Amino acid sequence: MDANKRKIFVAALEAGWAFMSEMANDEDEGREATDHRKKPRSNRRKFRHGDARHCINRDYLGIRGDLATPLLGAEFKAMLRVSRSRFQVLLEDIGASEIRFYQKKKNLDVDEQASLEAKLLLPIKTLAYGVPPHTFIDYFQMSPEYARECCRQFDIALHRHVHQVDGLFGSLDCSHTIWKNCPKAWAGSYTGKPGSPSIILEAVVDYHMFFWHASYGYTGNIGDLNVLAQSPLLERMVDGSFHTLENEASVVPFKIDDQEFTKSFILTDGIYPKFSRFVKGVKEPITEEEKKYTAWQEGGRKDVERAFGVLKCTWQFLDRPILKLKTD
């Protein structure tokens, strides 16, 4: 074997040994990774609630004695969509409430539990940016499950602050949209309460003007009871699917004065039937309690009337349905 062939053979042999060594190292690393995955993991992650509290005070609320804080005090409203003074009122009101979720646990130190500020700022920031609750868990030092619970409890607290009770699904009512260019052949079927041809919208709306139920297209010559009889809302209540959704959303059961209820309720006016879910005011209140209750019920029903007004003012297209048709 000449010198050139010997050099080629030695180079190939060295390359082969290097490849085999590299494969062996990869197998060792893979075995180590597998062994690492097999090691038992801690059942509970330890979040740094004290660090989260310090960051909140440093960035948003301020640290006592440190005039350089808060760093983002001027941008508080721009970043969280609420003013600093409004947040302070919210903080004091919820802190003074008897909602168990926001109470400090006596068996845990301060740094072992999330602060009230963190429980409120996380859902506020989540709502402001329209993102999932787990988006800010690194800053507020919470698990994804606890972040979702913060958002759920925040919604419950706001609802209770407005209506003073749990379990209120919304207010039910109907509204007419005038059909100005209704064909004369159909005018008789669509002319009802407003005196002009109209189409009826049935809706269940909450305090935030969110439409939980909407059914549109009923002829204007029928009343609210006839609309309810044809409504998919009543169908869901009868076949049990509505109650199934309640249980899945964990909105039931709830308590009012230590009495437990398994069905949410809807505020209606006196024309609706006496269903277990429909809560109506007292027709002729006599006692002070009846007067107070009726005033609360009538005030709560303003939600749906306000929503109808805002809907029609904002989307005037509802009064001009002919515009959606294409002309050749």
pLDDT on residue 146: 93
Q: Where are the domains of the chain?
A: 49-163, 168-324
Q: In this structure, what token pair is assigned to residue 14?
A: 């060295």
- CB 150, CB 139: distance < 8 Å: no
pLDDT tens digits for the chain (328 residues)? 555 655 555 565 565 556 556 655 555 555 555 554 555 555 667 899 999 999 999 999 998 888 788 998 889 998 998 999 999 998 998 888 878 899 888 777 777 899 999 999 999 999 888 888 899 999 999 999 999 999 988 887 877 777 767 788 889 999 998 888 899 999 999 998 778 999 999 999 988 888 999 999 999 999 999 999 999 999 999 999 999 988 888 788 888 878 888 999 999 999 999 999 999 999 899 999 999 899 889 988 989 999 998 888 776 655 555 544 555 5
pLDDT on residue 105: 82
Q: Which of 184, 193, 265, 196 is nearest to 227 (CA)?
A: 193
d(CA 6, CA 17): 17
pTM, two decimals, is: 0.54
What is the SS3 assignment for the chain? CCHHHHHHHHHHHHHHHHHHHHHHHHHHHHHHHHHHHHCCCCCCCCCCHHHHHHHHHHHHHCCCCCCCCCCCCCCHHHHHCCCHHHHHHHHHHHHHCCCHHHCCCCCCCHHHCCCHHHHHHHHHHHHHHCCCHHHHHHHHCCCHHHHHHHHHHHHHHHHHHHHCCCCEEEEEEEEEEECCCCCHHHHHHHECCCCCEEEEEEEEECCCCCEEEEEEEEECCCCHHHHHHHCHHHHHHHHCHHHHHHHHHCCCCEEECCEEECCCEEECCCCCCCCCCEECCCCCCCCHHHHHHHHHHHHHCHHHHHHHHHHHHHCHHHHCHHHHCCCC
d(CA 60, CA 179): 52
pLDDT on residue 215: 94
